[in-house]
């Protein structure tokens, strides 16, 4: 299948890109600043599976025009896209009272509006193909998280967006689902979590599994949702948290 993955230059997105090529899929992925990181992922993908195509594109998902231009280029290069994974995301943490307009707007623009632009663009082709898989990467924070009102609102918004796509396009062979990760070690969590909190998590993890997640474990869930076998899983929010979402 042919995948389009936003934010594939590092962290979870990079893991999903490399996993996809190892599973034999062609991949177009995006970055916004990490040109060098994206080039390294392209090289690593080529090394892991020389028989598939893996290409990076610079894209700021906040800009609708850019989404259309890059989307057109991807379709020109790959002919079609079967699977869209909206993974690009940022956090700008602050209490509700302390949050600036800019912090609010930035996070909504990347995490929610950007995902909408990408879904809107690729859905047209999916409807024509009578096949498509959309997987939007949310977060456990969507259920409310202190210091993250912008991030929580954006991620909760993704749930509504995804379930609406699931309803509008389910009859056209398209599924749309959300994965809501718990805690995975990436630049995002490294930047947001103070060292003493990291030590607390490692020693006294509140996760019933007793540890931080491995990106491969999240990627495996995403690849299941992307598969043809997952045709009847639609409009679901799949928490991949080691049990953190229900543990007291």
Task: Give the active site residues.
Answer: 151
Alpha helices in 49-109 (DSSP H): 64-78, 101-108
Centre a 10 Å sphere on the Cβ of residue 231 and count the other Cβ atoms it contains: 12
Retrieve residue 113's tokens.
């509006």
Please, what sign has the CA dihedral across residues 140, 86, 231, 15? negative
Burial class of residue 197 (count of CB atoms within 10 Å of its CB; 0-12, 13-18, 19+): exposed
Binding residues for ligand NAP, per CB under 6 A? 6-7, 9-13, 30-34, 37, 59-62, 87-90, 110, 114, 137, 139, 181, 183-184, 186-189
Are 179 and 233 within 8 A, CB to CB? Answer: no
Are 137 and 95 within 8 A, CB to CB? Answer: no
In three-state secondary structure terms, 207 is coil
Maximal CA-CA distance, the chain = 52
User: Using CA atoms, how far apart are residues 222 and 86, in angstroms rounded to an integer?
Assistant: 11
Are 31 and 53 within 8 A, CB to CB? Answer: no
Are 4 and 84 within 8 A, CB to CB? Answer: yes
Residue 207 makes CB contacts below 8 A (sequence gap 6+) with 182, 183, 241, 242, 243, 244, 247
């Amino acid at each position: 299948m042919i995948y389009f993955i936003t934010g594939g230059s590092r962290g979870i997105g990079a893991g999903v890109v490399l996993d996809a090529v190892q599973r034999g899929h062609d991949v177009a992925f995006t970055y916004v600043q990490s040109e060098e990181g994206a080039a390294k992922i392209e090289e690593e993908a080529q090394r892991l599976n020389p028989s598939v195509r893996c290409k990076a594109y610079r894209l700021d998902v906040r800009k609708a025009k850019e989404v259309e231009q890059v989307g057109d280029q991807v379709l020109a290069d790959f002919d079609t896209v079967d699977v869209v994974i909206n993974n690009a995301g940022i956090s700008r943490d602050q209490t509700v009272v302390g949050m600036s307009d800019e912090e609010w707007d930035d996070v909504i623009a990347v995490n929610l509006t950007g995902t909408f632009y990408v879904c809107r663009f690729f859905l047209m082709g999916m409807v024509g193909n009578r096949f498509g898989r959309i997987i939007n990467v949310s977060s456990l924070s969507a259920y409310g998280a202190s210091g993250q009102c912008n991030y929580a609102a954006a991620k909760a918004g993704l749930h509504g967006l995804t379930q609406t796509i699931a309803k509008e396009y389910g009859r056209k062979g398209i599924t749309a689902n959300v994965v809501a990760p718990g805690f995975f070690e990436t630049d995002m969590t490294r930047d947001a979590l103070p060292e003493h909190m990291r030590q607390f998590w490692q020693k006294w993890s509140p996760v019933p599994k007793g540890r931080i997640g491995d990106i491969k474990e999240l990627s495996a869930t995403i690849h299941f949702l992307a598969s043809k076998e997952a045709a009847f899983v639609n409009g679901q929010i799949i928490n991949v948290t080691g049990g953190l979402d229900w543990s007291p």
